[in-house]
Structure 1
Amino acid sequence: MYSNTTTQWTPKGVLESWKGDNVCKYKGFICDKRPDFGLQAVAGVDFNGFKFSGKNDILRLNNFLDGLPDLAFFHVNSNNFTDGVPRIGPDKINYLFELDLSNGKLSGPFPNEVLKAINLTFLDLRFNQFYGEVPEGVFKLDVQVIFLNNNNFEGEIPSNLGITPALYLTFANNKFTGQIPSSLGTANTSKISEKFSSSTTNSLSFGCLSKIEILNFANNKLYGEVPESVCKIQSLSNFTLSDNYITQVGPFCRKLIDRKRLNLKGNCIRDLPNQKSKEECAEFFSKAYPCPNMKMMNYIPCKNQFYRKSSSLTGVTDDHQSESAIEEEAPSPAPAPSKSVTYGALSPH
């Protein structure tokens, strides 16, 4: 048991409670009756903030996560677990719907084991040292939340990103490269934070994000024009494109700047304040960058038509709101894993 391997400070009474044979009385463990057999089982682990660490800075999830076949949730935020995620048979994660491994010292490639969790709704791998490419399978999960930011993931984000049902997506502070997947415009999400090494902003598919509230592409190498179709999304309350290489911004997007809902600081837009120097912009554009099919840059997948530029602010289609439709709206708080629900959360209620 981990009481023999942890050495760092933990909240008072945690390890002291790990005595006897009844694990259900241990702090950090939650028990409930399995819905199929009706037998008592360890349904949840909640070590959030315990700051566990191991001897010689080694504390693995092996023989722990994979040794609890009845888990509904596993929360170990802000601990010092190391190495990768152990192999877990699909029969051991039938009930798992929340997996929070964030803010630790985990490493290795994307933990493909989580793709076997058919009931998973919350996946949080933030602030670890995972690396390599993100598999397409992660966007096929029927999840509400995917947090992958602040790792060392690299390569291109899979093109099937748009099929995810997730409402919250964060990919920022990794090492992704390539174009922003055009399918992102069809995603049913309300909050997106991404970071790429090189991309263009011209894809009008973002205008299909009719439910988006927060869109953050700061600190990338995005260039081109801010799509007016995005600035016309009524629900958009915070659009951040700071510290890129954008050169043009249209009239509707300028109105979002006035409302402090669009941040374009640190770009290459000459008539706006707080931009990069001419020298820095010239250096960036002196290099060649790949450009996608320009015809498809004007294609709006959710409308099944091509965009025709207009001098009016209504621009794209009747579904894109006019200036008067813009209202101040505070973004919803980011979701957090539940603290006490177990198997009951697997059924609609």
Structure 2
Amino acid sequence: MKGQQRILFTGGGSAGHVTVNLALIPKLKKLGWDITYMGSQKGIEAQLIRNVPDVKYFGISTGKLRRYVDLENIKDPFRVVKGVFQAYRNIRTIRPDIVFSKGGFVSVPVVLGAWMNRVPVIIHESDLTPGLANRIAIRFATRICLTFSETAQYIGGDKAVHAGAIIREEIQQGDARRGRVLCQFKQGIPVIMVMGGSLGARKVNEAIRSNLAELTKSYQIIHICGKDQVDHSIRHPRYVQFEYVQEELADLLAMTDLVVSRAGSNSIFEFLALGKPMLLIPLSRQASRGDQILNAESFRKSGYCEVLLEEELNDQSFLQALRTLAARRLEIQSNMSQVAKDQAIETVVALIQNISKS
């Protein structure tokens, strides 16, 4: 008789490569799965997962898949090779029934280690086009779960499964009152939340701070500005800064009226699920592969947001885009309310169970 089923999660480099795993872990715990996680030794995934009870964490050597010239590029192939062998050995010890990968550069050695151990792998791709790490890993995977149905055209073969957006349950259980207490904000004054991603967004931060006097005439501002990017010289009763938030995010979003954000898929689908109109400022093609621009354009066409390209970002365009978003708020919320509730978590959990038994 087979014992307790085991799953190994991987994914990291940014919070977006961890949040989907964090949404799935509680579901699988309830079903009695033994859960382990493999990521980098000091990345954000190590910080986030080590706070999750009953999940054992394995840190491995990783390299970064850069798109620019850097001396570290010479060392990284050796780090990746070392990571592959560490993953291979760890997986032989853990003996998981299945590996679930959210992507990011740390996931590549783990997927390769699983393939070498003949352990089935499910990959999740949040963006409209697959990232570099997932493009490498896809050939070694059993199935690829997609958030956007259009992504199937980039996969080929019969591996793709359209699951939809995986939304954390706890993000939908926020309390606006707790959020106001945390920020010391007043009820009745609209709130803008600004999110630049787990590492922050310098240009977005600058746009908020340079227009703070104008913005605080009408709004209270929650500014999640990224690691080491809090400006301690700014003091204003309608403006509060955080480097990063975890469990408080649900309460902060519950009291939020408008969102200013990058266009990472996980975040914008959570805003959609919560009915929060968005001004999206996607990463430029100079700083990325252009995936956030595609995500933002897809949401704009569906009527869920306003989009301001980073190349067009200045004080005037930023304030005008916010005014347009505020004027369209009810229209956008109406569009959002017509979106069918995804069963993505149930779809992915069922896929994990079926493949692990095959």
Alignment TM class, shorter chain as reference: under 0.3
Which of the pair has more CA radius of gyration? Answer: 1
Give the structure with the higher percent strand.
1
Q: TM-score, normalised by structure 2?
A: 0.26
